[in-house]
Structure 1
Amino acid sequence: MALFKEYHAKYPSHGYRWLNAKIRLDTGLKMSDQYAHKCCKTAGIMSISKHYRYKKPGDPFKVYPNLMATGLNITGPLQCITSDMTAFRLKGGYYELTLYMDLWNNEILSYSLSGRKGDRMTYISGLKDLISIKQKYPGLEMILHTDQGSVYASKDFNELLPLYNIVHSMSRAGTPTDNAAMEAINGWIKTEMFTDLHITSNENIENEIKEYITFFNEERPAYSLNYLTPKQYKEYYAQF
């Protein structure tokens, strides 16, 4: 038990099976997993990490390759779109905002807001609005990069993409840096909405969000665009 406590102090994210294997590797001491479990249970040792659940074969959820890791050369609009959901509370209300952003000029192309936790339709509604834009350019191959959220990985979501020449790319599990641009924007959005634009009421939250998206796309200079707005950048450099 003292040995398990020592190893758990070093590796608190792991459970009894991993600790047992590590002790065996380091010391040569062999114990059964059942005995290791008894020792850890008696000592109150538990993994402090949340682990992803295994998806059995035939599960409709699917993980797609991370195309962002291949060093994409984004040279124009609509080549690579990234999406994520950010949640916030306002005056006792809970909201989820799903965004679809063009990585070329950081323009928010579509979005959807819901006052219900876990509302999958915010993802689907935003995707349908994105598809409406994509349909104007049927020959353009678009990459859509997301995390491994259950809606993004669902069959319903992914069945739509190939119909419109959209290729799905996914971040690695538990690796938000794979979608760093979207993660940064999520942080800025909440700061600007409440600190700069002083959104304090949920009575007209839909209009407030709409006005903020317009501000973000047309009035907000972006450091990554040499302090042009997304709209200005597209007007100057897009070659459609």
Structure 2
Amino acid sequence: MGGRSWCKQGIRYCQRKDYEVIEELREKYPVLFLCRIMDINRAGYYKWKARQGHLNRYEQDRQLLTELLKEEHKKHKSLGYHRLAYNIRVNTGWVFSDNLAHKCCKTAGIRSQARRYRYRKPGTESIKFENLVHGNWNANEPLQIVVSDMTVLANKKGHYEWTLLLDTFNNEIIAHSVSPKAGDTKPYYHCLDILMQRVGNIEEQRPQVVFHTDQGSVYSSRAFCQAHMNYNIIRSMSRGGTPTDNPIIEALNGWIKQELYLDYGLKNADDVPALLDAYVEFFNTSRPAAALGYKSPVRYKSELGF
């Protein structure tokens, strides 16, 4: 068998094929004769034959894990195999690798139903505020870099505009506001008021926070810029039409909407603001994040002493 070590499928694959050849020819020739000709251990062949129709321990575990993944996927259609595997580990205490979960998901056709986005070419720099972050999102403490964006949510009653403020230190949603009115600026200013309360005005001599946004009309307006003029806030803006300059909040807007639609029934919710309040509470205090070592944002921050 050493001469077959080149086989990319592995030595067990070659052994199994040899046994299958003997099984096919055993009606014409004695098994002992075939084993001698093919230099195969006869006891190994009979052990292989006895195992036919019976799943080994690995195959049984894989079959059980596939069923658990299917059940978890029915509950949370927006999750990928990493999060599905994590949920099963928490619920069952079963220890297995993400690689095994990926194999099971691939075989069973289990795939996240969250939308995927295409690459866009970068736009031009803002004439008001330059990009101070330049891809360096590694905050060392809370309220060092805060990002914001608005996204539109579809509901049976119409469309809602949801504005978010996110602390990049632990990906915690520190403020949010929603409005059923298109073009309503109140959610933006509501979130800004909460941020200004937390960072204080310039007379208090607190550390300044980098407030990064896109070049939306409200974020670029004179009134919005003047509202935080006397506070410890330094503005930073993405290039026009370049979501990759604000990847944390843009990515969040993408998958969080899919999670709300697929797992929390946002499309048919009767009270959208109440649903979002409950979800943000869950997101900050209970939802495990892979980037934080599968800890919630609040737990991650508290364990670091903040």
Q: Which residue of 2 aligns with 1:99?
A: 164
Candidates 233, 236, 239, aligned match of 2:300: 233
Give unmatched runs, 5+ long, in structure 2.
1-122
Q: Which residue of 2 aligns with 1:174?
A: 241
1:205 aligns with 2:272: yes
Q: Which residue of 1 aligns with 2:154?
A: 89
Q: Which residue of 1 aligns with 2:187?
A: 122
Find the aligned partners of 1:207 and 1:80 in 2 and give their Cα distance.
28
Kindly name which structure, 1 or 2, has the bigger radius of gyration based on alpha carbons: 2
Give unmatched runs, 5+ long, in structure 1.
1-51, 53-60
Q: How does 1:25-64 map to 2 (within 5 A)?
A: 63-64=128-129
Q: CA deviation at 1:132?
A: 1.9
Q: Which amino acid aligns with 1:199?
A: L
Q: Which residue of 1 aligns with 2:70?
A: none
Find the aligned partners of 2:128 and 2:242 in 1 and give their Cα distance.
14
Q: How does 1:153-164 map to 2 (within 5 A)?
A: 153-164=220-231
Q: Deviations over 1:5-27 (max 9, x none)?
A: xxxxxxxxxxxxxxxxxxxxxxx
Q: Deviations over 1:18-42 (max 9, x none)?
A: xxxxxxxxxxxxxxxxxxxxxxxxx
Find the aligned partners of 1:94 and 1:72 in 2 and give their Cα distance.
31
Q: Which amino acid aligns with 1:134?
A: V
Q: CA deviation at 1:193?
A: 1.1
Q: CA deviation at 1:63?
A: 2.5
Q: Which residue of 2 aligns with 1:183?
A: 250
Q: Which residue of 2 aligns with 1:193?
A: 260
> Are 1:87 and 1:96, in contact at CA under 8 Å, matched by a contact in 2?
yes
Secondary structure, aligned partner of 2:191? helix
Find the aligned partners of 2:230 and 2:279 in 1 and give their Cα distance.
31
Q: Which residue of 2 aligns with 1:14?
A: none
Find the aligned partners of 1:64 and 1:195 in 2 and give their Cα distance.
37
Higher helix residue share: 2
* Structure 1 residues 201 and 133: CA distance shift in structure 2, 3 A: farther
1:221 aligns with 2:288: yes
> Are 2:215 and 2:238, in contact at CA under 8 Å, matched by a contact in 1?
yes
Q: TM-score, normalised by structure 1?
A: 0.70
Q: Deviations over 1:156-204 (max 9, x none)?
A: 1111223111000000111100000101100121111121122344431
Secondary structure, aligned partner of 1:69? coil
Q: Deviations over 1:139-165 (max 9, x none)?
A: 121010000001001111111223111
Q: CA deviation at 1:85?
A: 0.5
Q: Deviations over 1:114-157 (max 9, x none)?
A: 00111111111111122222239851210100000010011111
Secondary structure, aligned partner of 1:67? coil
1:75 aligns with 2:150: no
Instruction: Return 76-85 or 192-201, whichever deviates more.
Output: 192-201
Find the aligned partners of 1:235 and 1:147 in 2 and give their Cα distance.
30
